[in-house]
Amino acid sequence: MGDLLKVLTYNEHDQGPNFSLDFEHAQPTEAETAIWNQVNAVLEEAQTILAELQSYTGAGQEIREAIQNPSQLQLQEKAWNAVCPLVAKLKRFYEFSLRLENALRSLLEALTSPPHPPTQHLEREQALAKQFAEILHFTLSFDELKMTNPAIQNDFSYYRRTISRNRINNLQLDVESEVNNEMANRMSLFYAEATPMLKTLSSATTKFVSENKTLPIEDTTDCLSTMACVCRVMLETPEYRSRFTNTETLLFCMRVMVGVIILYDHVHPVGAFTKTSKIDMKGCIKVLKEQPSNSTEGLLNALRYGSSKGAPAPTRGPGWLLTRHFG
């Protein structure tokens, strides 16, 4: 990414960039160090989480055999022993989402705190801005992997059914000490979401705004809209795109842009898909459609269905208003 990223701050006379933001080499200043260290620990774990999710194969075969042969205790135990370590892994993913939520909150506090406006924060605290982008990149990456892996829901559903059945039969299962019924309920709500990590961050951002009533909501939305503008310009400007060294950089920009748009849509009073929005939604969607990446459709779907204010009437599903942008 490097110094290709430009934060665009506009005025009525000049629409050019007036400061650069380095997302690749930015190092924390002394003032940023405490928060940077806290968030960095989470981001380091994020790579492990992604690797584990990518290699998640599930216990489909064992579960099918157990269901087809309910009277064969050996197959029931085999399925249970296969599912338990997987559920423990799913628990780690869920608990990590809570850590990610706290990290996001710390960054929002740092990048919106008075007396400086968000654009000044982004200019001065570039290492934190880089971490904010990396959180969104991880979030969209995680959710893309989760949506294409039905084994996660299948494994967890089998686990919950087995727990319930054995509780009725007064049998004790050791794994309950790790994933008890209360934890299982929370995890069930988390994995029921099509994009669980993005849902977690959207809720966290909404909560941040509601709990900080003395902070103008514009400080948060301006931070998000500026980030969206950064990525859009990088993607649509040949001068910047020509410096990309690999598709990972392209995907990074797309995921961050989509992530901040969805967060903006959740916290802005009228959402991102209106004329008063500070995000050029038609431009963002246009530039997504023009990219050759295989992930483009998934990101467009995230915009379609991740919107919180796209439906002006109860009878219209989420994203109804987006059709005029997507075509």
Confidence of residue 298 (pLDDT cuts 50, 70, 90): confident
> Averaging pLDDT over each range in 11-25, 194-208, 225-239, which range is the top one?
194-208
pLDDT recorded at residue 159? 92
Average pLDDT over residues 29-42: 94
pLDDT value of residue 247: 65
User: Which one is predicted more confidently, 237 or 56?
Assistant: 56
Evaluate if residue 14 carries a pLDDT over 80: no
pLDDT tens digits along 220-276: 999 999 889 888 888 888 877 776 666 677 888 889 999 999 999 999 988 998 888
**Alpha carbons 165 and 140: distance in angstroms, whole number:** 36
What local confidence, expressed as pLDDT, does residue 251 receive? 84
The predicted-structure confidence for 301-320, as pLDDT tens digits, reads as follows: 888 877 665 433 333 333 44
Q: What is the mean pLDDT of residues 190-202?
A: 94
82-121 tens-digit pLDDT:
999 999 999 999 999 999 999 999 999 999 998 888 888 8
pLDDT greater at residue 14 or residue 214: 214
Residue 180 is predicted with a pLDDT of 81
Give me the pLDDT at residue 3, please.
Answer: 43
pLDDT for residue 5 is more than 50: no
Q: Higher-confidence residue: 107 or 24?
A: 107
Instruction: Give the tens place of pLDDT for each residue, 137-164.
Output: 999 999 999 999 999 999 999 999 988 8
**Average of per-residue pLDDT across 195-213:** 94
Mapping DSSP onto H, E and C, the string for the chain reads CHHHCEECCCCCCCCCCCEECCCCCCCCCCCCHHHHHHHHHHHHHHHHHHHHHHCCCCCHHHHHHHHHCCCCHHHHHHHHHHHHHHHHHHHHHHHHHHHHHHHHHHHHHHHHCCCCCHHHHHHHCHHHHHHHHHHHHHHHHHHHHHHCCCHHHHHHHHHHHHHHHHHHCCCCCHHHHCCCHHHHHHHHHHHHCCCHHHHHHHHHHHHHHHHCCCCCHHHHHHHHHHHHHHHHHHHHCHHHHCCCCCHHHHHHHHHHHHHHHHHHHHHCCCCCCCCCCCCCHHHHHHHHHCCCCCCHHHHHHHHHHHCCCCCCCCCCCCCHHHHHHHC
Output the pTM of the full model. 0.85
Percentage of the chain modeled with pLDDT above 70: 80
The lowest-confidence range among 113-117, 185-189, 190-194 is 113-117
> What pLDDT was estimated at residue 260?
95
Sequence ranges of the domains in the chain? 28-194, 216-326
21 phi and psi angles, rounded to 5 deg: -135, 120
pLDDT score for 179: 84
Q: How much is the mean pLDDT over the chain? A: 83
